[in-house]
Amino acid sequence: MNLHPDYLLNEVNEPSDIKDMSLDELKQLATEMRQLVLERDAKIGGHVGPNLGVMELTIAFHYVFDSPHDKVIWDVSHQSYAHKMLTGRKLGFLDPDHYEDITGFTSPEESAHDFFEIGHTSTSISLAVGMAQARDLMNHQSHNNVMAVIGDGSLSGGLAFEGLNNAAKLNSNLIILVNDNQMSIDENQGGLYKGLKELRDTNGESPNNIFKFMGLDYKYVADGNDLQTMIDTFKEIKDIDHPIVLHVNTLKGKGYEPAVEEKMKYHWRTPFELKTGEDKVKVSGESYSDAVLTELDKQIAEDKPVVAINAGIPGAFDLGKFKAKHPDRYYDVGIAEQDSITTAVAMAQAGARPVVFQNSTFLQRAYDQLIHDMALNDAPVVMIVRGGAISESSATHQGTFDISMISDLPNIEYLAPTNVEEMISMLRWAINQTDEPVVIRQPEKPLLHGKPTQSDYSTIKYDIAHRGSEVAIMAVGDFWKLGEKVRKELQDKLNIDATLINPKSVTGIDSDVLHHLAENHDVVVTLEDGVLSGGFGETIARYYGPKGMKVLNFGAPREFADNVPTEVLYEWYHLTPKQIVDDIEQVIHSL
Amino acid sequence: MNLHPDYLLNEVNEPSDIKDMSLDELKQLATEMRQLVLERDAKIGGHVGPNLGVMELTIAFHYVFDSPHDKVIWDVSHQSYAHKMLTGRKLGFLDPDHYEDITGFTSPEESAHDFFEIGHTSTSISLAVGMAQARDLMNHQSHNNVMAVIGDGSLSGGLAFEGLNNAAKLNSNLIILVNDNQMSIDENQGGLYKGLKELRDTNGESPNNIFKFMGLDYKYVADGNDLQTMIDTFKEIKDIDHPIVLHVNTLKGKGYEPAVEEKMKYHWRTPFELKTGEDKVKVSGESYSDAVLTELDKQIAEDKPVVAINAGIPGAFDLGKFKAKHPDRYYDVGIAEQDSITTAVAMAQAGARPVVFQNSTFLQRAYDQLIHDMALNDAPVVMIVRGGAISESSATHQGTFDISMISDLPNIEYLAPTNVEEMISMLRWAINQTDEPVVIRQPEKPLLHGKPTQSDYSTIKYDIAHRGSEVAIMAVGDFWKLGEKVRKELQDKLNIDATLINPKSVTGIDSDVLHHLAENHDVVVTLEDGVLSGGFGETIARYYGPKGMKVLNFGAPREFADNVPTEVLYEWYHLTPKQIVDDIEQVIHSL
């Protein structure tokens, strides 16, 4: 049900519907849309601060420009809620029954006003340059505007700089709106922000200007939350015939005091009480992150030169606690994943013990640094990777490619613990060795307890948790519980006493165990919480390829899934215990 | 035999050996070392211009600083020849018998004066920052200097910018020497270079200074090829207590007129005649690159909105010819692989038909752009990838990870043609469809002719070039000839009439063919010119895992190989026809 049938927004079906509105009406729209952002985010979670800060510039864009003929590309696109409300998707914000119809990012499937699915930072300038180049090549008559909107936080990612560098070569229309709210997800990091501050402090007049340095035109707007100012500014630069940077100062969280006060907390939130700001679902109890931080404390107490490195996402690992205790050992490089790995490599080679904290989906941006810097130099970096799990997430942030990304590279040991004690045992070993890079895949399922079965992981010995026959189940990391369930189901349904194995690693093969399995097993089943292509299961399938063993690999297919509930994905991918046992049964019957 | 027993360089075993030399003697060293660079490169190939340009700054560094206590990190490290000569490795330049003892890049295995194996650009600042951070954490008493030497061309890579941004946070010694020779491998690309020019033109005095903008100290040196100037400058900033950028103007190719005249040609050269500059080995005849360019010409003549994009390596694909014919359709984004992909995605979505030219090893730097931009948006980018082959190369540039990197991602079709006609047929189809991203793996072996067996590759149909029984050989792309040889060897040695299949793609599976192979085959053999982990063979092994077929995968193991001759690698990896047939025989005997 539409919660606000009285809202002026109800009259807006197309951007053209706001073009005849008065300034007061446009301001009313901004107020309404802020309320809708808050209501929706409070109910289902989402980006708060980024959306509250860009109301005025979004309204002004659609008031002055002619979308989709004129094109706006939102960096990360987590700030595109207002854009969505003005481009035919208001019901996804007015009516809770339709909240889930609309994704949190731009989506060409939703609207002709969106051009790309985007969820990672720093891509918008390159995308805008590409659209401008295609326009110039194909439609010499058409003079549409192309605008990228990029936050100051996203500017620290190297790709943004590459984009700026090439934007300067254009001899045609391009608008790069730098939405400067003086924040990244967390605090901004690095020298770039000194320069931006000087520009703000001088009302854009400082002669030292990185954008002008690169040959780009430049204009500063001191109050990007003033609607009239933004309208006037856009009118002035509309149809400009060369690239310009519009440096716009805005307030992240504008209009909702808690979001202004606690900018990091309100960057992205799970559902919360709108009045008090409290989390609706409180997370309590033990966490893998806590256990990791406790172990790092111990290692530091033992005088190990441990440092913690992350790239703009301390919250994902609760690193605020580490920073408070060990400020001189804490490094947040900002949104700059490449730099986080290469710097860690150097620290490791110089004798420090860097522990890098990464999200699988963002680590993708440092693939060459994994190969050319970390693996090639065999640098004993320790890394914790989160998010490698089949789960309900935006396709933009799908973290299931990590096993292929990491385990197919030389020299790196990629460990997949099944419980917290095992994980800490692996972490302790990783910190105390200097032979190789070690990556640890942090489980995303509810915390399990267990007992590590080795303490030195330089040679992986698979743990045979239960010795049976006929079928051997290799359950990787997070999928340990699933392995236990499949074992039980095999017992109950087929009366098979299956072997259950914890392989611990997705790189090192224990060929001794694999060899001896052949003695009394016909089928080996692998279960991994990630994409099958390039994954652990294929390694086992290749090993047994020339031999008599049947191998069945379970995991995700090579595809994207956008906001599909985890349980549905499991059904689709044949990952329920029942489906798995049915598949095993088929193979057994074919023997 | 030492060709120059009279050289002063013979007296230099350690950097300390030059500290008592006079300026004239140091200049003599520079002259000698230039000659040695030329003699070695002329004989065995290597980087010419980059090394000739940095003689004076290298000598000055070792004269003023105390290596390896003070540390210099060479970006790409292709300019480290002089550094090698002065740090105990002179014989690798004086004596042709020892040329091959010394690699073309820094190598910790060779010397304590080298800290990393490096061959890709733009990493040195992050590495230097990491070393400085480790120093500050672990050795509060030790005040060693850390210096990165980075060329202006390398600065366009996003990682360099990320490094600069974080360098500004240091409160201790760090020297970033920007070796500005006004060249990348090819011409510099982008706005950054306007700014650097303004700094050079104003003797470093321009108030608009990207380095100062980021809060870094800055000093300009107008003649970096003047030894006394470099010595004085280094003396002045030695032990500086904060980060500084030393912007040094040098001449690429200094001291050898042809290298100064033709900077791109002499960036890196295969063996050449020192007197005339002519190539010793002349490449002639048909090439895959020529065929590709001819096809692009045709498509453009048919009014297709084709554009060619590359990231600083036009020479690898002979794109100079394309640029001359179609300047408005040619985009070199400079050393900025991420930007090359993301821009191409936007162009494709906007209706243009971008063809991106990439080297496998450098494409690694755009892995997230392949996933998050190209695959997720299913953008119909066309890409040609070179260098995906097991071959004698520096480990830094090993290009064998491409199948895992690309084929394990959703939505992308990765085609592997076996001959030039097939490649062009694939390219034509790729340009004329807009359903999906298509990557084509350019063969690195001598050009073969053949006949395409399909013209629409949206559904891959494996070509059964020869129908036999017992053993089926699937020979991917470049390894087609190998497949034919294995077939012959099987016939000759085991009297087996093997089936030979061209799978054409390393992503799409033709399950129809795979299914029917089971009727009269016991063993399927895959041959691929790349790393096995995450590769094509594993896909086939997984397919047959639950079935009765034996599968044998041939390719490279998950490891780096540094400058090992291709034929030796083939022996190591069991890739000779005889070894392969022996392995097949073993499996057959176990049946």
Q: For chain B, give percent helix, strand, coil, nearest 5.
A: 45, 15, 40
The one-letter amino acid at A100: E
**What is d(CA B483, CA B159) in angstroms, rounded to the nearest whole number?**
41
* CB–CB contact A167 B116 (8 Å): no
Chain B partners of A395 at a C-beta cutoff of 8 Å? Answer: 376
* Tokens encoding B81: 């020849």
The one-letter amino acid at B44: I
Q: Tell me which residues of chain B, numbers 506 to 565, contact chain A at a CB-CB cutoff of 8 Å.
A: 523, 531-535, 537-539, 541-542, 544-548, 550-553, 558-560
Interface test with A, best of B72, B342, B401, B584 (most A CBs within 10 A): B342
pLDDT value for B143: 84
Look-up: residue for tokens 């003549």? Answer: B301
Tens digits of per-residue pLDDT, B527-564?
999 999 999 999 999 999 999 899 999 999 999 999 99
3-state secondary structure string, B304-328? CCEEEEECCCHHHHCHHHHHHHCHH
According to DSSP, the β-strands at A438-441 and A382-386 are parallel
Task: Tell me whether residue B403 is exposed, middle or buried, using C-beta atoms within 10 angstroms of its C-beta: 0 to 12, 13 to 18, 19 or more.
Answer: buried
* CB–CB contact B350 A130 (8 Å): yes
Tens digits of per-residue pLDDT, B20-32?
999 999 999 999 9
* Tokens encoding A451: 């007992």
pLDDT value for A285: 85
Distances (CA, A) of B308 to A125, B348, B468: 19, 12, 42
Chain B partners of A533 at a C-beta cutoff of 8 Å? Answer: 407-409, 534, 539
Residue of A126, A192, A534 lying closest to B343 (CB–CB): A126
pLDDT value for B158: 97
**Helix ranges (DSSP H) in B364-470:** 367-368, 402-407, 420-432
Residue B168 has pLDDT above 80, yes or no: yes
Chain B partners of A541 at a C-beta cutoff of 8 Å? Answer: 538, 541-542, 544-545, 551
Q: Contact A287/A295 with Cβ under 8 angstroms?
A: no
Beta bridge partners of B527: B475, B554
Distances (CA, A) of B137 to A329, A331, B18: 8, 12, 32
Q: Determine contact: A135 vs chain B, CB below 8 A.
A: yes
Residue A425 CA to its chain's centroid (Å): 27
Residue A57 vs residue A264, higher pLDDT? A57
Tens digits of per-residue pLDDT, A208-255?
999 999 999 999 999 999 999 999 999 999 999 999 999 999 999 999
N-terminal to C-terminal alpha carbon distance within chain A: 57
Q: Determine contact: B32 vs chain A, CB below 8 A.
A: no
**What is d(CA B349, CA B367) in angstroms, rounded to the nearest whole number?**
19
Residue of B169, B208, B372 lying closest to A191 (CB–CB): B169
* CB–CB contact A190 B169 (8 Å): yes
Minimal Cα–Cα distance from A157 to chain B, Å? 7
* CB–CB contact A191 B156 (8 Å): no
Minimal Cα–Cα distance from A353 to chain B, Å? 9
**What is d(CA A67, CA A78) in angstroms, rounded to the nearest whole number?**
19
Q: Coil, strand or helix: which one is A269?
A: strand
Domain boundaries, given as residue ranges, for chain A? 8-269, 288-441, 463-589
Residue B140 has pLDDT above 70, yes or no: no
Interface test with B, best of A161, A309, A511, A514 (most B CBs within 10 A): A161
A534 pLDDT band, cuts 50/70/90, is: very high
Q: Contact A518/A548 with Cβ under 8 angstroms?
A: yes
Strand ranges (E), B222-362? 243-249, 268-269, 306-310, 330-332, 353-359
Residue A139 has pLDDT above 80, yes or no: no
% chain B with pLDDT above 90: 95
- Range B8-269 classified under CATH 3.40.50.620: no
Task: Tell me whether residue B140 is exposed, middle or buried, using C-beta atoms within 10 angstroms of its C-beta: 0 to 12, 13 to 18, 19 or more.
Answer: exposed
Q: CB neighbours of B349 closer than 8 A, spacing ≥ 6? A: A108, A115, A116, A130, A131, B377, B379
N-terminal to C-terminal alpha carbon distance within chain B: 57
Q: Tell me which residues of chain A, numbers 309 to 338, contact chain B at a CB-CB cutoff of 8 Å.
A: 328-329, 331, 333-334, 336, 338
What b-and-e string marks burial along B103-129, b requiring 16 or more CB atoms within 10 Å of the CB?
Answer: bbbbbeebbebbbbbbbbbbbbbbbbb
A490 pLDDT band, cuts 50/70/90, is: very high
CA nearest neighbour of B168 among B121, B212, B199: B212
A559: nearest CA partner in chain B = B410
B353: nearest CA partner in chain A = A134
Query: What's chain A's Rg over C-alpha atoms?
Result: 26
Interface test with A, best of B75, B113, B133, B414 (most A CBs within 10 A): B133
The one-letter amino acid at B535: G
| A115 phi, psi to nearest 5 deg | -115, -20
* Tokens encoding B26: 């140091």
Residue B73: in which H helix or E strand, if any?
strand B71-74
Instruction: Indicate the angle between helix axes A23-44 and A227-237, nearest 10 degrees.
Output: 110
The CATH superfamily assigned to A288-441 is Thiamin diphosphate (ThDP)-binding fold, Pyr/PP domains (3.40.50.970)
**What is d(CA A176, CA A216) in angstroms, rounded to the nearest whole number?**
10
Residue A429 CA to its chain's centroid (Å): 28
Q: How many residues would you count in chain B? A: 591
**What is d(CA B518, CA B11) in angstroms, rounded to the nearest whole number?**
70
Q: Contact B467/B499 with Cβ under 8 angstroms?
A: yes
**What is d(CA A200, CA A179) in angstroms, rounded to the nearest whole number?**
12
Tens digits of per-residue pLDDT, B44-74?
999 999 999 999 999 999 999 999 999 999 9
CATH of B463-589, one of 3.30.70.100, 3.40.50.920, 3.40.50.970, 2.60.40.10: 3.40.50.920
CA nearest neighbour of B81 among B122, B39, B128, B109: B39
| A190 phi, psi to nearest 5 deg | 115, 175
Strand ranges (E), A157-289? 174-180, 217-221, 243-249, 268-269
Its sign, for the CA torsion B19, B253, B265, B180, is positive
Average pLDDT for residues B96-120, to the nearest whole number?
96
Residue B554: in which H helix or E strand, if any?
strand B550-556
**What is d(CA A297, CA A318) in angstroms, rounded to the nearest whole number?**
14
pLDDT value for A284: 78
Minimal Cα–Cα distance from B25 to chain A, Å? 34
Residue A143 has pLDDT above 70, yes or no: yes
**What is d(CA B529, CA B509) in angstroms, rounded to the nearest whole number?**
18
pLDDT value for B548: 86
Residue A283 has pLDDT above 80, yes or no: no
Q: Contact B312/B339 with Cβ under 8 angstroms?
A: no
CB-CB neighbours of A299 under 10 Å: 17
Q: Coil, strand or helix: which one is B572?
A: helix
Residue B471: in which H helix or E strand, if any?
strand B470-475
Q: Contact B232/B63 with Cβ under 8 angstroms?
A: no
CA nearest neighbour of B430 among B447, B413, B450: B413
Average pLDDT for residues B416-436, to the nearest whole number?
98
A141 pLDDT band, cuts 50/70/90, is: low
ipTM exceeds 0.90, yes or no: yes
Q: Tell me which residues of chain B, numbers 351 to 390, contact chain A at a CB-CB cutoff of 8 Å.
A: 351-352, 354, 361, 364-365, 367-369, 371-373, 375-377
Q: Contact A233/A246 with Cβ under 8 angstroms?
A: yes
pLDDT value for A548: 86
* Tokens encoding B517: 């192979």
B285 pLDDT band, cuts 50/70/90, is: confident
Tens digits of per-residue pLDDT, B400-412?
999 999 999 999 9
Residue A39: in which H helix or E strand, if any?
helix A23-44
| Average pLDDT over all residues of chain B | 96
Q: Coil, strand or helix: which one is B167?
A: helix
Chain A partners of B146 at a C-beta cutoff of 8 Å? Answer: none
Look-up: residue for tokens 């006493």? Answer: A497
A140 pLDDT band, cuts 50/70/90, is: low
**What is d(CA B147, CA B244) in angstroms, rounded to the nearest whole number?**
10
**What is d(CA A154, CA A539) in angstroms, rounded to the nearest whole number?**
37
A281 pLDDT band, cuts 50/70/90, is: confident
Q: Determine contact: A344 vs chain B, CB below 8 A.
A: yes
Domains A8-269 and A463-589 share a fold: yes
| B3 phi, psi to nearest 5 deg | -75, -15
* CB–CB contact A158 B338 (8 Å): yes
The one-letter amino acid at B451: K
What b-and-e string marks burial along B224-252, b requiring 16 or more CB atoms within 10 Å of the CB?
Answer: bbbbebbbebbeebeebeebbbbbbbbbb
Average pLDDT for residues B447-464, to the nearest whole number?
97
**What is d(CA A416, CA A356) in angstroms, rounded to the nearest whole number?**
16
Beta bridge partners of B521: B470
Residue of B372, B409, B559 lying closest to A396 (CB–CB): B372
B184 pLDDT band, cuts 50/70/90, is: confident
DSSP assigned state of B110:
T
Q: Determine contact: A156 vs chain B, CB below 8 A.
A: yes
Lowest mean pLDDT among B43-52, B280-289, B322-331: B280-289
Strand order in the sheet with A463-466: A463-466, A499-502, A470-475, A521-531, A550-556
* Tokens encoding B304: 């297709």
A69: nearest CA partner in chain B = B350
Average pLDDT for residues A432-446, to the nearest whole number?
97
Minimal Cα–Cα distance from B252 to chain A, Å? 23
Q: Determine contact: A267 vs chain B, CB below 8 A.
A: no
Residue A392 has pLDDT above 90, yes or no: yes
* CB–CB contact B127 A396 (8 Å): no
Q: Coil, strand or helix: which one is B230?
A: helix
